Amino acid sequence: ILSLFSSDLQKIQKVIDIALKHDKRIAIIGRKAQRIVDIAIDYNYLAIPKDRLVNLRYIDDKNKNDDPDLVCLVTGDRHEPFHMLNRMVNKSDRLIHITEDDTLLIIVSPIPGTEKMAAKTLDTLYRTDANIYVIDKAYLTLNHATSDEIKMMINLTKPKYIMPVTGEYRKQFTVREIAKSMGYKEEDVFLLDNGDLLQFDNGKPITQKNRYRHGDILIDGSRLGDVNDIVIHDREMLADNGVFIITAHIDPLAKSLVGEIDVSMKGFLPKETFLELKDELFILFKEKVNEHLLNKYVNWNELKNQLRDEINKFLYAKTKRRPVTVVVLISTEQSENDKNMQT
């Protein structure tokens, strides 16, 4: 099993030549890779006898794809070779399950941003006791074009303007320097960031910075990208510190608390820990409610906001945590019978 980048046709051909020399059959893993190989064969970029190519069948109880004379090319772009190997070693791939009888040759190095995933995959591979050989990246050629190749492309196409796309900014900057060394003016080579706009008005280039919004988009259920920052912040708070809900019934006519104060929590504190704070918190709660009820007119929103602020201060002082606090005040008018029973 060999891992390669699907764009590295020269290396793929060398592997195939060695495999054919030892009378091995060849399987190309990955639909995209198969399409690339088919096109490369049609245009004579690759020379592979059709009778040596194997289409693997799905693994089941009757078929294990165990063939000692089979060479599998696991190819793809960016993270795909390591991702496919990870599926194979975890036996979630439908075509190949890696065992201790297999030999693996890793001829790709992790690209920036995928190092952690690649390291985890390699660690899992070594646990299978398979024969694993990792080619050091110092011996691997880069898939990026050299400066001479970029110069050749510019000479062949002779563009009026040049705009490097994709890749890191420092690499795009290098392309601009190469173009300048060939006689291009700096204003004829455009380095754009995500969201920038380049348009031509009567042949004259015009750029606009930050013309379009860009970045990560949150898919929330069936809705796309309509979750605002406040909602995201609340969800982060819920995940970090949980939620604290306190509920009380108030008789607006008698201007008094009715019944017991109820508290429910999720992801905040164990009930046993809260019991140590309960009495002190309830005293604070009743004091703040009674202060407002002494007023001729009670502003319920103001009361809830003040209760939430006071509870947050109290909980942080005692626990050093800031849960999402929800205060629920329910208007409950007592009947005369209820009042007599309480008396």
Q: What is the DSSP string of 247-264?
A: EEEEETTTTEEEEEEEEE
59 and 173, same domain (yes or no): no
What is the C-alpha radius of gyration for the chain, rounded to an integer number of angstroms?
Answer: 34
46 and 76, same domain (yes or no): yes
Q: Percent of the chain at pLDDT above 70? A: 90
Cα dihedral 25, 27, 33, 34 sign:
positive
CA end-to-end span of the chain, whole Å?
Answer: 84
Q: What total number of domains does the chain contain?
A: 3
Phi then psi for residue 246, to 5 deg, are: -120, 130
The CA distances from residue 65 to 30, 83, 143, 152, in Å, are: 16, 20, 32, 45
131 and 11, same domain (yes or no): yes
Confidence of residue 12 (pLDDT cuts 50, 70, 90): confident
* Amino acid symbol at 49: P
Of the candidates 120, 139, 158, which is a domain's last residue? Answer: 139
Confidence of residue 219 (pLDDT cuts 50, 70, 90): low
- Average pLDDT for residues 165-172, to the nearest whole number? 85
133 and 22, same domain (yes or no): yes
Q: What is the DSSP string of 14-39?
A: HHHHHHHHTT-EEEEESHHHHHHHHH
Confidence of residue 142 (pLDDT cuts 50, 70, 90): low
- CATH number for the domain including 247? 3.10.20.580
DSSP-derived 3-state class of residue 53: strand
* Amino acid symbol at 2: L
| Joined tokens for residue 80 | 């795909």
196 and 126, same domain (yes or no): no
CA distance 323 to 243: 5
Confidence check: pLDDT of 217 > 80: no
pLDDT tens digits for range 58-110:
666 666 777 788 899 888 887 888 888 998 888 888 888 888 889 999 988 88
Nearest of 190, 194, 192 to residue 205 by alpha carbon:
190
Q: Which range (10-24, 26-40, 173-187) has the least confidence?
A: 26-40
- The pLDDT score that the predictor gives to residue 42 is 87
- The pLDDT score that the predictor gives to residue 190 is 94
In 209-255 the beta strands, taken as DSSP E runs, fall at 219-220, 223-224, 243-251
Q: Quick one: which H or E segment has residue 11?
A: helix 9-21
Of the candidates 139, 163, 184, which is a domain's last residue? Answer: 139
14 and 109, same domain (yes or no): yes
The partner residues of 257 in beta bridges, in order of sequence, read 250
25 and 135, same domain (yes or no): yes
Average pLDDT, the chain: 85
For residue 172, the enclosing domain spans 147-208
On whether the pTM is more than 0.75, the answer is no
- Asked if the structure places residue 266 within a domain, the reply is yes
- CATH number for the domain including 49? 3.40.50.10710
- The pLDDT score that the predictor gives to residue 339 is 46
- Asked if the structure places residue 217 within a domain, the reply is no
- The pLDDT score that the predictor gives to residue 109 is 84
Q: What is the DSSP string of 114-159?
A: -HHHHHHHHHHHHTTT-EEEE--GGGSPPSSPPHHHHHHHHHHH--
96 and 21, same domain (yes or no): yes
| Joined tokens for residue 263 | 């508290």
Confidence of residue 341 (pLDDT cuts 50, 70, 90): very low
- The pLDDT score that the predictor gives to residue 61 is 64
Confidence of residue 317 (pLDDT cuts 50, 70, 90): very high
The CA distances from residue 121 to 75, 105, 127, 189, in Å, are: 15, 14, 10, 40
118 and 6, same domain (yes or no): yes
Q: Which range (207-211, 285-289, 331-335) has the least confidence?
A: 331-335
DSSP-derived 3-state class of residue 216: coil
CA distance 47 to 50: 9
pLDDT tens digits for range 30-67:
777 788 888 888 888 888 888 888 877 766 666 677 77
235 and 271, same domain (yes or no): yes
CA distance 301 to 285: 15
- Average pLDDT for residues 254-280, to the nearest whole number? 89
Nearest of 122, 141, 144 to residue 133 by alpha carbon:
122
Confidence check: pLDDT of 342 > 60: no
236 and 198, same domain (yes or no): no
